[in-house]
């Protein structure tokens, strides 16, 4: 049995799994799941992930694994995407935890509301926008010390955070206000097999 990745191509959380697998040269089957059509809520899909969310991978031995950052950690085990130094590895994890708690809920949600729900940027909740801007500023500040989020080498922190950051403009965020972030996006895109 081959690795299977169940994901929706509109989801940054799914794409970071795809990019990690592609960067590592893994052999897998991509199974497109349409979030907007409710395909994560079918009994068949919920048998893979009772939470009814993508991405999900089914490993070669048949075991399912959910949650994007857990999946990319599993896939990248032993690769150069995970720092060998314990402190740098912990810093990478710090960024991964922060991404799901303090970045994705604002930057990605704003984009989803504008692009997929048809809301105008002016109608977004001001708190959502302010928190998204704070997340982008945190990234800008975090890039003071190096070319990537953990020093000068691409890590899973970069893979996880570039997924929605690169599309933040679609949610009404002005990336021109964050020049270090813009330069970092270009570096990460060049280092990953990202295809629009």
Q: What is the mean pLDDT of the chain?
A: 96
Mean pLDDT of the 140-149 span: 95
Using DSSP, state whether 65 is helix, strand or coil: strand
| Residue 196: pLDDT band with limits 50, 70, 90 | low
Kindly list the strands in the beta sheet with 64-66, ordered across the sheet, starting from the edge strand earlier in the chain: 28-32, 3-7, 56-58, 64-66
Dump pLDDT digits (tens) for 100-141. 999 999 999 999 999 999 999 999 999 999 999 999 999 999
The helix-helix angle for 179-191 and 156-165 (nearest 10°) equals 120
Dump pLDDT digits (tens) for 25-68. 999 999 999 988 999 999 999 999 999 999 999 999 999 999 99
| Model pTM above 0.85 | yes
- Among 10, 24, 4, 146, smallest CA distance to 73 is for 24
Domains, in order of start, for the chain: 3-76 (3.40.30.10), 86-191 (1.20.1050.10)
Neighbours of 63 (CB within 10 A): 8
- Token pair recorded at residue 106: 């604002």
| Residue 194: pLDDT band with limits 50, 70, 90 | confident
Residue 3: what are its φ and ψ, rounded to 5°? -60, 135
Strand pairing of 28-32 and 64-66? unpaired
The helix-helix angle for 179-191 and 126-142 (nearest 10°) equals 70
The helix (run of H) or strand (run of E) holding residue 6 is strand 3-7
């Amino acid at each position: 049995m081959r690795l299977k990745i169940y994901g929706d191509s509109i989801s940054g959380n799914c794409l970071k799994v795809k990019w990690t697998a592609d960067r590592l040269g893994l052999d897998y089957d991509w199974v497109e799941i349409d979030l907007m059509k409710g395909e994560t809520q079918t009994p068949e899909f919920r048998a893979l992930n009772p939470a009814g969310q993508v991405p999900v991978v089914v490993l070669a031995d048949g075991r399912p694994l959910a949650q994007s950052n857990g999946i990319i950690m599993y896939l990248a085990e032993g690769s150069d995407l995970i720092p060998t130094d314990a402190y740098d590895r912990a810093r990478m994890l710090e960024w991964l935890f922060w991404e799901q708690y303090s970045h994705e809920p604002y930057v990605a949600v704003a984009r989803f509301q504008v692009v997929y729900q048809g809301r105008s940027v002016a109608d977004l909740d001001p708190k959502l926008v302010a928190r998204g801007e704070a997340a982008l500023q945190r990234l800008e500040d975090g890039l003071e010390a190096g070319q990537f989020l953990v020093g000068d080498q691409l890590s899973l922190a970069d893979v996880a955070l570039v997924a929605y950051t690169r599309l933040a403009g679609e949610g009404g965020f002005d990336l021109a206000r964050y020049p270090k972030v813009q330069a970092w996006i270009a570096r990460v895109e060049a280092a990953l097999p990202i295809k629009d």
